[in-house]
């Protein structure tokens, strides 16, 4: 892990050397109003995030057992080793679990002590998911994705796109489960001008890397060739299943 952190820090330092100190992060005054379809889309993004998010160290959850206040935990923090403490079960390994999977496991284990337990769980704080934002942004590096986050929100969290950045050719690199990589192109210029469809502002997943190409010579191929990029991807994907 230390080696990965060092490699990531070196990469971020190199990326910082590429950026311009000038930046934009403003929202256009003429942004399109949100419609019912937009609202439904964002509800879907939030639902998918909370249903598919895999727990990791630093996350906080609630585990509730109906009619059993002594065995209800309103706030439990996932330890550095990936477990939470339950008053009846002791330390329970939860790292890598989704909330539905956590409910399933807790129901099964509590059934050994309680008759037909009704278990529910909630993700209170998500602190373990990370994404990378590199290239021509003000603060390239790692962003903790503690809530559903779109491409534009990730860029804004990194200070915005520098004047040298290509707003119409932002790239999202996504590692797939089979080991291959998916490349998604996002026209942030259209989003900022209020001309895009809601789904064009892609919802990010843990382990994604957002790359803002330079509008001169610096392109995504340059970022990919930088020393340590593989270690950087490995670092932000730690804990991702």
Angle at 234 between CA 153 and CA 84, to 5 degrees: 80
Angle at 179 between CA 174 and CA 180, to 5 degrees: 55
Q: 192-202, pLDDT tens digit by residue?
A: 988 888 888 88
pLDDT of residue 215: 65
Contact 101, 84 (CB under 8 A): no
The hierarchical CATH code for the domain 54-125 is 3.30.1950.10
pTM score: 0.53
Summarize the confidence of residues 72-87 as an average pLDDT.
95
Q: 112-156, pLDDT tens digit by residue?
A: 999 999 999 998 888 878 888 888 888 888 888 877 889 999 999
Name 44's Cβ contacts closer than 8 Å, sequence gap at least 6: none
Domain residue limits, the chain: 2-51+129-236, 54-125
φ and ψ at residue 46, rounded to 5 degrees: -65, -45
Residue written as token pair 């010579």: 217
Quick check: do 2-51+129-236 and 54-125 share a fold? no
Name 77's Cβ contacts closer than 8 Å, sequence gap at least 6: 58, 59, 60, 84
In terms of CATH architecture, what is 2-51+129-236? Roll (3.10)
Contact 174, 96 (CB under 8 A): no
pLDDT of residue 15: 40
């Amino acid at each position: 892990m230390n080696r990965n952190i060092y490699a990531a820090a070196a990469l971020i330092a190199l990326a910082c050397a590429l950026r311009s100190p000038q930046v934009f992060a403003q929202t256009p005054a003429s942004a399109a109003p949100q419609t019912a379809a937009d609202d439904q889309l964002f509800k879907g993004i939030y639902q998918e995030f909370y249903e598919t998010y895999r727990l990791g160290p630093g996350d906080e959850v609630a585990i509730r057992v109906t009619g059993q206040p002594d065995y209800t935990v309103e706030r439990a923090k996932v330890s550095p080793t990936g477990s939470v403490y339950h008053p009846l079960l002791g330390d329970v390994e939860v790292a890598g679990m989704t909330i539905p999977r956590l409910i399933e496991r807790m129901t099964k284990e509590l059934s050994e002590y309680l008759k037909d337990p009704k278990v529910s769980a909630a993700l209170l704080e998500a602190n373990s998911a990370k994404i990378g934002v590199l290239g021509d942004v003000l603060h390239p590096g790692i962003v903790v994705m503690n809530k559903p986050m779109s491409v534009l929100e990730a860029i804004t969290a990194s200070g915005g796109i520098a004047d040298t950045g290509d707003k119409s050719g932002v790239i999202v690199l996504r590692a797939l489960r089979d080991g291959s990589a998916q490349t998604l192109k996002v026209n942030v210029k259209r989003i900022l001008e209020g001309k895009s469809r809601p789904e064009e502002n892609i919802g990010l997943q843990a382990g994604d890397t957002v790359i803002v190409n330079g509008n001169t010579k610096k392109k995504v191929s340059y970022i990919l060739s930088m020393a340590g990029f593989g270690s950087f991807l490995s670092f932000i994907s730690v804990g991702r299943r």
